[in-house]
Amino acid sequence: MLLSSGAASDGQLGDAIRGAAAAREGVRTYVEVHIEQGPVLEDLGVPLGVVTAIAGQTFLHVSMRGSQGHAGAVPMETRRDTLAAAADAVLAVERGCQGAAEPAAPSQPCLSTRRAADGVRFTSEEGLVCTVGQLSVWPGASNVIAGLVNFTVDLRSRQNAIRSGACAAQWTLGLRALSPPPPPQSSWRRRGRRFRRCVPGEISPAPSNRRCV
């Protein structure tokens, strides 16, 4: 039942709700008390935290296509195993975002990138986090080398420049699947055949009102 329906059917409840309502002209600030959705305050033993900003978000849908084949008939050296390629790509996303704990270079206060043996890493001071939360494999049979893998990437940061830079870095990593470089470079770049990415949604960060914080 909706609250409005309950109030309409119960006169006393309706009167109580209307009596508790505050006049808009008498309200200066609204503050929401919310349970922590992560473990940070609990791990630090801090009873209360103040939100200074809601992070902006970018949602990516990534598709990787290789060559489907029989598990017993295709030699290892000739395979284009898309699931193995996607596994390496997911780890590359994680490694790149873990680099965000390092301080940014003075010449690039929002984002710095550096090459590493396993790809591009970016660093920031603004709490960049990346999550691969969904992954689907086709055809999904135990005796078939995967031919298609789709997965999602959720990027979040309190600064748009950092988030867009992270998107560019992930795109660079994915495009390398198109051209097989010689060993010892990352194996997922050799396995992939085609790589496609779309951005179904973006949300800008929302800083908290400084008078409230």
Q: Both 177 and 95 in a single domain?
A: yes
Q: What is the dihedral of CA 114, 135, 189, 122, to 10 degrees?
A: 0
117 plus 74 within the same structural domain: yes
72 and 23 housed in the same domain = no
Cα 103 to Cα 114: distance, rounded to the nearest angstrom: 13
Residue 21 pLDDT grade (very low, low, confident, very high; cuts 50, 70, 90): confident
Please answer whether residues 201 and 75 qualify as being in contact, where contact means their C-beta atoms are separated by less than 8 angstroms. Answer: no
62 shares a domain with 33: no
Same domain, 95 and 183: yes
- Does residue 49 form part of some domain? no
- Segment 183-205 mean pLDDT: 68
Does 85 lie in the same domain as 40?
A: no
132 shares its domain with 186: yes
pLDDT band at 180 (very low <50, low <70, confident <90, very high): very low
Confidence bin at 174 (pLDDT 50/70/90):
low
In a domain, 11, yes or no: yes
Q: Is residue 212 part of a domain?
A: no
**Same domain flag for 26 and 64:** no
Are the C-beta atoms of 82 and 155 separated by less than 8 Å? no
CB 60 within 8 A of CB 155: yes
Same structural domain, 86 and 159? yes
Question: What's the total number of domains in the chain?
Answer: 2
Statement: residue 133 has pLDDT above 80: yes
Q: Write down the pLDDT at residue 111.
A: 30
Highest average pLDDT, of 5-14, 109-118, 202-211, comes from: 202-211
- 43 has pLDDT over 70: yes
Q: Is residue 69 part of a domain?
A: yes
Looking at the structure, do residues 75 and 135 belong to the same domain, yes or no? yes
Do 63 and 166 lie in one domain? The reply is yes
Q: Closest Cα to residue 81, out of 96, 66, 60?
A: 66
Domain that holds residue 20: 3-44
My answer on whether 167 and 66 are in the same domain is yes
Separation between Cα atoms, residue 13 and residue 77, nearest integer Å: 73
Residue 213 inside a domain? The answer is no
- Alpha-carbon distance of 111 to 104, in angstroms, equals 6
The string of DSSP codes covering 125-189 is: SS--EEE---EEEES--TTEE--EEEEEEEEEESSHHHHHHHHHHHHHHHHGGGS-PPTTS-HHH
Which is higher by pLDDT, 177 or 162?
162
Q: How far apart are CA 113 and CA 169, in angstroms?
A: 8
If you write DSSP's letter for every residue of 109-130 in order, what string do you get? Answer: SS-EEEEETTEEEEE-SS--EE
**pLDDT tens digits for range 76-120:** 888 888 898 888 888 888 877 876 433 333 333 223 333 333 344
Is residue 64 in some structural domain? yes
CATH number of the CATH domain containing 148: 3.30.70.360
